[in-house]
């Protein structure tokens, strides 16, 4: 049996910090509303010259360094994002070139905020099948470019970031374990960028109607998330023959502190079992879990051998949950 161990991790956040009070100067909102309803205090926003590619490369270099792996040893690059540099070419090719990973295959994986966990599970399949040995999985977003800065119901929620891990084939126990991937397209409209794709190509009308920005039915997504987090964690743990007691740290997608609190309550677990970074970074979509992982390792909170349960939800609507032993 070939396991996929995380041997390197890294994150990158842009240096510019935008506080809730900064946003209160742009739209009709307040620090109090944002903190109470979401737990967000500030977010990092990319500088004009930064892109999904440059941020991916910054996080990937840190993960490769941590893994003591040279770029030439990579077999595959998976970039999970909903905010690529371009529709085409795939941003994975831009990242491959910028990293100097000559001829290494790569692809973009787009499942919204669940992209990183989908990517982790996908990378694991290439390793478990024996096809590849070293897989770079990146979760990255520059959602600030697709945010309507006049829409208070969305612009206060998102932040920019990149996170990356290196997965390596191993005969030792641990690594990516039981998982569940899911999607429910009946709720597709709940998070949508209406125009720009083949269904509604760009036009003067779509630009005038702000149809190239993210629109979200927050309440719908909130209900979905609280429903799916505990249920999916329960199923994954059952598959693995484990219980909550066997999990050292839960790493949930960071969309809203209240969603995490509700899940913890439903699971009858203290909030201290959950890694939470939403206060400092807001919702960084596909980057949120590798960012939280990297932060918690840097703080010495997560250690080698710890059993982690990553659980995510987002556009699609999709969900993705995976047990990972570091």
Nearest residue (beta carbon) to ligand UT7: 218
In the region spanning residues 55 to 114, those forming contacts with ligand UT7, defined by CB under 6 A, are 113
Q: Which stretch binds ligand UT7 (CB under 6 A): 42-50, 54-62, 217-225, 269-277?
A: 217-225
Q: Is 86 a catalytic residue?
A: no
Cis ω before 317 (30° cut-off from 0): yes
**Min separation Cβ 236 and ligand UT7, Å:** 19
Which residue in the block uniquely carries the two structure tokens 């556009």?
315
CA–CA dist 273, 261 (Å, integer): 11
Taking the complex as a whole, the smallest distance from the CB of residue 226 to ligand UT7 amounts, in Å, to 9
Q: How far is the CB of 101 from ligand UT7 (least distance, A)?
A: 30
Residue 25 burial by Cβ neighbours in a 10 Å radius (0-12, 13-18, 19+):
exposed
Q: Give SS3 for 93.
A: helix
Output the DSSP codes for 203-226: -HHHHHTTTTS-EE-HHHHHHHHH
- Residue 40 or 236: the one with the smaller Cβ distance to ligand UT7 is 40
Tokens of 50: 């930064």
* Site for ligand UT7, residues 219 to 258, rule: CB under 6 A: 219, 221-222, 225, 255-256
User: Is 217 considered catalytic here?
Assistant: no
Do residues 322 and 289 lie in contact, with contact meaning Cβ atoms separated by under 8 Å?
A: no
CA distance 78 to 136: 6
- Cβ-based nearer residue to ligand UT7, 52 or 256: 256
| DSSP element (H, E) containing 43 | strand 42-44
Residue 37 near ligand UT7 by CB under 6 A: yes
The CB-of-218 to ligand UT7 minimum distance in angstroms stands at 3
Q: What's the closest the beta carbon of residue 109 comes to ligand UT7, in angstroms?
A: 16
Rounded Cα distance between 298 and 282, Å, is: 19
- Active-site residue, selected from the candidate residues 113, 134, 155, 233: 113
- State which of residues 63, 74, 99, 156 lies at the interface with ligand UT7 (CB under 6 A): 156
Site for ligand UT7 in 5-34 (CB under 6 A): 29, 33-34
| Nearest residue to 275 via CA among 294, 7, 40, 225 | 294
Residue 191 touches ligand UT7, criterion: CB under 6 A: yes
Residues that bind ligand UT7 (CB under 6 A): 29, 33-34, 37-38, 113, 152-153, 156-157, 191, 216, 218-219, 221-222, 225, 255-256, 283, 285, 314
Q: Which are the catalytic amino acids?
A: 113, 253, 283
């Amino acid at each position: 049996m070939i396991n996929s161990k995380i041997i390197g991790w890294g994150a990158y956040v842009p240096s510019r910090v935008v506080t809730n009070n900064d946003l209160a100067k742009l739209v009709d909102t307040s620090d109090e509303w944002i903190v109470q309803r979401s737990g967000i205090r500030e977010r990092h926003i990319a500088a004009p010259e930064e892109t999904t590619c440059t941020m991916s490369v910054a996080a990937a270099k840190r993960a490769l360094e941590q893994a003591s792996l040279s770029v030439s040893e990579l077999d595959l690059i998976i970039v999970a994002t909903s905010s690529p540099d371009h529709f085409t070419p795939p941003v994975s090719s831009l990242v491959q070139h910028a990293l100097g990973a000559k001829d290494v295959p790569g692809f973009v994986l787009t499942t919204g905020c669940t992209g990183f966990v989908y990517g982790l599970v996908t990378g694991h399949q290439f390793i478990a099948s024996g096809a590849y040995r070293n897989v770079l999985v990146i979760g990255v977003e520059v959602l600030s470019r697709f945010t309507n800065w006049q829409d208070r119901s969305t612009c206060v929620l998102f932040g920019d970031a990149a996170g990356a891990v290196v997965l390596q084939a191993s005969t030792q126990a641990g690594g990516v374990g039981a998982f569940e991937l899911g999607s429910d397209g009946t709720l597709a409209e709940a998070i949508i960028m209406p125009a720009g794709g083949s269904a509604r190509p760009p036009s003067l009308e779509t630009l005038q109607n702000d149809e190239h920005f993210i629109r979200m039915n927050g309440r719908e997504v909130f209900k979905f998330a609280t429903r799916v987090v505990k249920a999916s964690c329960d199923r994954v743990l059952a598959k693995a023959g484990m219980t909550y007691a066997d999990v050292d740290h839960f790493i949930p997608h960071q969309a809203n502190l209240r969603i995490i609190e509700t899940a913890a309550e439903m699971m009858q677990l203290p909030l201290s079992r959950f890694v939470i970074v939403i206060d400092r970074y807001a919702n960084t979509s596909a980057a949120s879990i590798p960012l939280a992982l990297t932060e918690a390792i840097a703080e010495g909170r997560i250690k080698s051998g710890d059993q982690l349960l990553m659980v995510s939800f987002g556009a699609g609507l999709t969900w993705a949950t995976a047990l990972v032993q570091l």
